[in-house]
Structure 1
């Protein structure tokens, strides 16, 4: 019986086999993810659109700035407030009300030293309180992203004022202010996306926001403006002639006239050096507009090309949450919307800002504290 023995492979044959094996593995490692990603892109129903305007910050010239806010900022209530999105100040009681992501509205004492400040749990809405406004009688009006427009009394009783308009539920009740005649003005940032999906509304680039008013005397809700691009901060002008509201996606604030010959019309109030969130009047002729991010090169590219925003949305939805804000802060403007000063920092994220004495207090959905900056010690200096 004969036995055949295979001849040993040469080194060149072994090398060739290894090359084919490596190529095969590399091919599938490259092609399979691309194929899956391509299929996912085609099946994903999310369809961003072009914006009606080209976003730009080049037309916002601010004469004074402090670009290193975090070097001088102090923290208040660290670890006791999670995501303090908006701030409302009760001067008589010297406390700041703020709404947190766990549903609690908390009260933060205002003292000369942050070490002497303390935080008190006040009332839990069971939702996600965002915008806050104090009435003269001590009631707190709350724009709750999940519950709608609320009234909280001094006795901590919660009343839902309104949570829908003509059968269309509010999905993201956002910000609020109160006029001298008692009319409440508020925004529904999106009638399509909830708070947890707010980034999708911004990426989609469609006008899903609304500005509304509520009359407590008649319990009537009125739609003032619709088709807004993430309707956000609200502030009644000191002369009560108009209401300013911010559109985060378009990086601008507009004014809606509620009195006078222009009643019912909308005009631009100002462009903003970033995406605006809350806007507050300081009682001294200036508005403070919080910006959670400036327009980064990456964002600029994405907003020019909807397919990039779709890819970003898929990554956020199926892989990981992207968080790329940059140079957030506070822009100060006068009664005509003219920029006066800009306080910001590379890694700062602010969603609200109020002025108390020499300090600017800042709220943020991203922080477990409230920030405080002494603008006498750390002023905005003339831009070079």
Structure 2
């Protein structure tokens, strides 16, 4: 009797193991992973030597809001911040007189202001938006052409001449269809199909064009001082590009001199880019690199298996606060870290003469340091 029970249990266990193996190997998933070669991570050395300069941030309370993903000073001198809820908060630079300036019904990830003082916002759920000074929201465009939708509007910069440059982080995974901005970004970076791109919208003609494509999750964007070049973070491959702003449908992988890697093999996932003072460009590192993720770069089948697991089992990296500044030649001029990650998922920094505000994907306050 006992032997019969043992055999029955063993048979059931074998079936369970086979079922799990079949699930991990064959269950349909949305990604088709592409192999790529990750460089050996540099770690926190050289310009990124460990420090605690970002520790102990002062904070501005934002009530029930969270996720100040993008922060900027408006033409009116007010501080604006885009929240996870879809609200755009407006306040004094010290956090006083807070109010909801506007709500898009989506999730603004980046915004800038045009010459007329209206906010131009990149909302991955809605597209490229204009928000007037009296908070009226309208869609400038959600397509490059009738058969080419903008799937993941992310970061934005308005040139002095009026052209709006912005990133479409992924043409494969639109957040409105794939569980939100973070879930869609994980799928895109796990796949590595490099479907991200840089777009330009001309308000005068109402036309949108592709500046460059071939980026693994195109994210932050900033304009050079002379207005001729764009700096773009490629989150999925740990680097920052310098791209000719006048380029048209350029594949950054083509070897063209119009697109050059400015900063490569970063120690973490780069996110927002923001112009600071004295020529600085601030970069946020969302999380440090994970050796396990890099080890899977040339193993697309393993990455496909991982996507079948619960998200908390994915090698997404540990929390670590980190922002740094570069000049237009890619030299690191400042580096601020918080190994304890007291302020989670740092995505960027906004610099004024008095303060350095720190962006975050999920924080429940706005962090800042006196300058």
Q: State the TM-score bracket (shorter-chain normalisation).
A: 0.7 to 0.9
Structure number, greater radius of gyration: 1
**Cα RMSD after superposing both structures:** 2.8
Q: Cα distance 1:150–1:47, how it changes in 2: closer, same or farther (>3 A)?
A: same
Other-structure match for 2:80: 97
**Contact 1:243/1:256, CA 8 A, preserved across alignment:** yes
Indicate how the Cα distance of structure 1 residues 80 and 96 shifts in structure 2: closer, same or farther if over 3 A, else same: farther
SS at match of 1:159: strand
Decide whether aligned partners of structure 1 residues 119 and 315 sit closer, same or farther in structure 2, where only a CA change above 3 A counts: farther
TM-score under structure 2 length normalisation = 0.85
For the pair 1:362 / 2:358, whether they are aligned, the reply is: yes
* 1:308-347 matches, cutoff 5 A: 308-316=302-310, 324-346=317-339, 347=341
Paired with 2:53 and 2:316, the residues of 1 have a C-alpha distance of 20
Q: Measure, in 1, the Cα distance between the counterparts of 2:92 and 2:225.
A: 26
Alignment CA distance shift 1:367-1:171 (3 Å): same
- Aligned pairs (5 A) from 1:74-223: 74-90=58-74, 92-93=76-77, 95-111=78-94, 117=96, 119-166=98-145, 167-195=147-175, 196=180, 197-223=184-210
The Cα offsets for residues 51-71 of structure 1, whole Å up to 9 and x where unpaired, read as 2x4234329864365633563
SS in 2 for 1:192: coil
1:322–1:55: structure 2 CA closer, same or farther, 3 Å change rule? closer
**Would the aligned equivalents of 2:211 and 2:245 in 1 still touch at CA under 8 Å?**
no
Question: Post-superposition shift, 1:82?
Answer: 1.8
SS of the residue aligned with 1:223?
A: strand
TM-score by length of 1: 0.82
Residue 352 (structure 1) aligns with: 348
**Contact 2:275–2:281 (CA<8 Å) still a contact in 1?**
yes
When residues 369 and 31 of structure 1 are mapped into structure 2, their CA distance, relative to the original with a 3 A threshold, is: farther
Structure 1 stretches of 4+ with a deviation exceeding 6 A read: 319-322
Unaligned 5+ runs, structure 1:
1-16, 377-384
The residue that corresponds to 1:286 in the other structure is 280
* Greater Cα offset, 284-293 or 251-260: 251-260
Cα deviation code 1:226-280 (max 9, x no counterpart): 12110111101111120111110011111112369xx981111212331111101
Aligned CA distance change for structure 1 residues 369 and 312 (closer, same or farther; 3 Å): farther
Q: CA deviation at 1:312?
A: 2.3
2: CA distance, partners of 1:44 / 1:285: 48
Change (3 A) 1:323 1:63: closer
Residue number among 24, 38, 55 corresponding to 1:54 in the alignment = 38
- Partner Cα distance (1:32, 1:65) in 2: 48
CA contact (8 A) 1:77 1:118 kept: no
Corresponding residue to 2:259 among 261, 266, 282: 266
Cα drift, residue 368 of structure 1: 2.0
SS at match of 2:308: helix
Q: Give the equivalent residue in structure 1 for 2:253.
A: none
Equivalent residues, number: 351
